[in-house]
Amino acid sequence: MAKDIFESSDTIRTAHPLRYAQSVTFDELLSLESGGILPSVTVAFETYGQLNEAGDNAILICHAISGDSHVARHNAEDEPGWWDILVGPGKPVDTNRFFVICPNLLGGCRGTTGPGSLNPATRKPYGPDFPTITIGDMVEVQRRLLDHLGIGQLIAVIGGSVGGHQTLTWATRHPDRLRGAVALATSPRLTSQALAFDVVGRNAIHRDPHFHGGQYYDQPQGPAVGLALARMIGHITYLSPEAMNLKFEADRLQPREVAMEFEKTFSVGSYLGYQGTKFVERFDANSYMTLSLAMDLFDLGGTPEQLAAGLHPAHCRWLVLSFSSDWLFPPSQSRDIVNALVRNNAAVSHCNIQSSCGHDAFLLPDDFDRYGEMIRAFIHNLVSASTGLGVEKEEPPGPTSIFHERRLDYDRIVELIPPGASVLDLGCGTGRLLARLKQEGRGRLVGIELDERKIISALKRNLDVIQADLNEGLRAFADKQFDCVVLSQTLPAVRDVAGVIAEMLRVGSTCIVSFPNLAFHKLRRILAEEGRAPRAYGWLRDKWYDTADIRFLSIADFEDFCREKGFHIQRRIALNTETGGEITEDANREADLAIFVLGTTPNAEGNPPIESVPT
């Protein structure tokens, strides 16, 4: 096997000393959301780069359940950090430009106050007396740290998994303290399945006879078996089934010889036993229980309405990333967050990264070529709000004209959209149309696109772009949320034409649809005289058996369809893209490209719908 099976996103996390960690103690009382209090709190943290004089170049990184402040190496000799791929000089979170702060979590065991810390009231470790804490409490401690460091508004808060929960909490509790939020592999609250795994893990610790009611610090033995079991369960949930097969299938009955007291029959068993045993050496069971309960109690809303309300205070820009094989924080949950943000008219970009790495994907290099570039572009946009990174290598313009390569339809579509109008572009590609509308000044602009690479390009143009499949509808969007919804060039590739157009008319006040006209006289002639399926050398260049187009229609067909479905045609522009001219007479025969403006009512000027007399 190419990879050592004992490698994991966590293997590097041995209990190395945090040589570069600083700490600060706040002696003011911390009132917790549970009603409990902590008389004083120490925060361990690490920083990278230089805070500028204005104090406005800072980025906060929030770690996940078993992480710590050591997000990245401080130099070549330093121990590896857990997110070295993301944070460092020239990296997407560029420490040459930004001041990066990563604090250890409240409740943890790597320097910040937690159950293993001394309780000043008893001069013994808190143990079971450590109060229940929430993600909100963790964020409150981080806020105190930022105040202490003299940081006003952050450029961004970034976090994955429970780090994503902190990011969501920052954006909603302290909306003025951040310009952007990057939430990876996270959720509005845990699924019942994810909760269930945590409950079993806590039960294993709690019912370990060496738990001693949580006051095991002065005992010869702590709940090592329970904590190891909890960690084993955790490890299974961090990996995808594919990743596990890749690691263990070839040698399933050849376990690694490891000194441990767990079952060694199977390779996967020796891996889990090893991970569990190592974890006990570096983590405190009470901290694990405290942090996992805080994660489980996090709840930004269980319904779309609750979630939209929960996210309502936020007014930063968002980048929400999920990973296709993550079953612990499944992509549908990131989608729920995105849908709620969309509903709130928040500026959000989203991609569900195709990955085989499961929940761990956000820590691993495998898919970093995509999610790393998205984060890089997004952060760049936060500091250079007017211009993006720029699309380095523009793809050749796709043909829109059926006979010509130039996108003649863009000129007309841009003209059709009034200044200030908000626009949703379905199948926006790299964002060429939206970028043009942005240059020329329009309202809110949002693109929908499936392709990951095109999403990166659209982000580089400083656009908000959301990954979605049109055939699944526009459920995320509210009625009449946009002035204009555009479906240009994409109609023939849509399976559920009536459904998509109905959704466009629900979401937009007007819709613009463009498509090539099958009944153009040169296309008719191909079938009539050559006896072959019509083609042309532009838009319709692909052959019948390999074109992405699956719907073939004429202007007359589309008008019949609109009548039948009750879609009102407000305007029709018929073009001959060979001559570049607009066709007004006998359009169904003389035009090769049609642009329709649709509405749910007859056109705005009160004119009757177009009655075409097609031939």
Angstrom distance (rounded) from CA 152 to CA 143: 10
Angstrom distance (rounded) from CA 91 to CA 93: 5
Q: Which of 28, 257, 479, 530 binds a copy of itself (CB under 8 A)?
A: 530
Determine contact, residues 592/551, Cβ cutoff 8 Å: no
Catalytic, 355? Answer: no
Stretch that binds a copy of itself, among 13-21, 138-146, 435-443, 537-545 (CB under 8 A): 537-545
Is 268 a binder of a copy of itself (CB under 8 A)?
yes
Site for a copy of itself in 555-614 (CB under 8 A): 555-557, 560-561, 588-589, 614
Catalytic, 464? Answer: no
Q: Which of 8, 66, 69, 161 is catalytic?
A: 161
Angstrom distance (rounded) from CA 153 to CA 57: 8
Is 209 a binder of a copy of itself (CB under 8 A)?
yes
- Tell me, what amino acid is at 83? W
Distances (CA, A) of 522 to 60, 167, 528, 535, 555: 61, 57, 10, 9, 14
Site for a copy of itself in 306-365 (CB under 8 A): 327, 330
Q: Which residues, other chains included, contact 607 with Cβ-Cβ below 8 Å and sequence gap of 6+? A: none
Least CB distance to a copy of itself at residue 217 (A): 20
Q: Which of 218, 545, 585, 606 binds a copy of itself (CB under 8 A)?
A: 545
Q: Which of 25, 54, 121, 192 binds a copy of itself (CB under 8 A)?
A: 192
Stretch that binds a copy of itself, among 56-64, 157-165, 223-231, 436-444 (CB under 8 A): 223-231
Site for a copy of itself in 274-313 (CB under 8 A): 293, 296, 302
Is 537 a binder of a copy of itself (CB under 8 A)?
no
Catalytic, 161? Answer: yes
Least CB distance to a copy of itself at residue 83 (A): 26
Question: φ, ψ for residue 185 (rounded to 5)?
Answer: 45, 50
Q: Which of 26, 266, 301, 405 binds a copy of itself (CB under 8 A)?
A: 266
Is 221 a binder of a copy of itself (CB under 8 A)?
no
| HSE-CB for 410 with a 13 A CA cutoff | 17
The angle formed by the CA atoms of residues 184, 274 and 77, to the nearest 5 degrees, is: 65
Is 33 a binder of a copy of itself (CB under 8 A)?
no
Is 416 a binder of a copy of itself (CB under 8 A)?
no
Is 531 a binder of a copy of itself (CB under 8 A)?
yes
Least CB distance to a copy of itself at residue 115 (A): 17
First to last CA, the chain: 66
Determine contact, residues 323/334, Cβ cutoff 8 Å: no
What DSSP assignment string belongs to 412-454?
HHHHHSPTT--EEEET-TTTHHHHHHHHT--S-EEEEE--HHH
Nearer to a copy of itself, 47 or 514 (CB): 514
Site for a copy of itself in 468-497 (CB under 8 A): 495, 497
Nearest to 110 by CA among 34, 38, 234, 22: 22
At 3 the three-state DSSP class reads coil
Nearer to a copy of itself, 176 or 249 (CB): 249
> What is the residue whose two structure tokens read 């925060």?
43
Is 200 a binder of a copy of itself (CB under 8 A)?
yes
Is 258 a binder of a copy of itself (CB under 8 A)?
no
Distances (CA, A) of 476 to 164, 176, 362, 389: 21, 26, 25, 28
Catalytic residue set? 161, 326, 359
